[in-house]
Amino acid sequence: MAVTEAERRAMTRALELAVRGPRGANPQVGAVLLSPAGDIISEGWHRGAGTAHAEVDALSHLAPDQARGATAVVTLEPCNHTGRTGPCALALIEAGVRRVVYALDDPGAVSGGGAERLRAAGIEVEAGEQADAARTVVADWLTAGRLGRPHVTVKWAQSLDGRAAADDGTSQWITGPEARADVHRRRAASDAIVVGTGTALADDPSLTARDGDVLYAHQPIPVVIGSREIPATAALHRHPQGLLRFDTHDLRAVLSDLHARGIQRVFIEGGPTLASAFLAADLADEVLAYIAPVLLGGGRLALTDIGVGSIGEARRLRVVERVWLGEDLLLIAHPVTEEGS
């Protein structure tokens, strides 16, 4: 049976509901329940780890048996496993739902398989409605699940001759206001922003995401890697999110810990040493290089040793976007994998 117009409208609504939920270890999911006549009788979304999933949230607003014969429209395949909550596929079966329309298959080896369970119970199932839109909503969650760690963006600003600072260490500001505003927008789209203790001590950064003098509604969690103490008076301690400290040089362990906390997207702003460490460890999924038309000379390079001893060992990148920001140029690049992507 083809997807009806009422079900298409319900999916659009479910996608709007999905983004009300927090980004975290679990995906953002929305659900709409339709009566046999195609009218909306309930809505729900996932409000965070440990809370009811979207389908169960929507069912919770109905009286017993009110969902019997209904159609459930969900942005992600109903789950088929018991974690902190029970399987949504079973909840829909027990509620007497007649039909399920969902956008995107659940890729989880444990959580997937809900559609098969629903069909086995005699429920009509339609998959793929507005799948691309649903994939956009949970893109970071899908990437983090595939990688087993957060997606990592490494950012730096440099002069035309590849310097991150003048010889006396001053670096504010290499780039202009348009480039700096772009950085803050990208900070706001991240879950965590990471620096090393060197940057934390030298620059006393706030690591907030600001639109001019106003904080963005979403603030990335500030993370500092390194063993040196951060003064109690440091701006980082006044960040609206709690500061995370990692006294280690094991970047994979740091990312594993952040992943366990539900952090899906990490923004590395820690200066040449930290940026180079992530690149050397093959932990950069995206590079943002802000290039200003200034010359600084000297030895304060934007990158240090990244493990390249000869030209044959060069880290190849593919530039996916070029953005002019006032007089500055932003190059967005992705590592070239063995498959050439």
- Catalytic machinery residues: 55
Burial of 178 (0-12, 13-18, 19+ CB in 10 A): middle
Return the DSSP state at 68.
T
Query: Contact at 8 Å (CB) between 54 and 17?
Result: yes
Concatenating the DSSP letter of every residue in 255-293 gives: HHHHHHTT--EEEE-SHHHHHHHHHHTT--SEEEEEEES
Query: Contact at 8 Å (CB) between 161 and 294?
Result: no
Return the DSSP state at 37.
T
CB atoms under 10 Å from CB of 311, counted, come to 6
Cα 252 to Cα 270: distance, rounded to the nearest angstrom: 16
Cα-Cα-Cα-Cα dihedral sign, residues 52, 57, 61, 64: negative
- Listed residue (255, 306, 301) closest to 280, CA to CA: 306
The DSSP element (H or E) to which 211 belongs, if any, is: strand 210-211
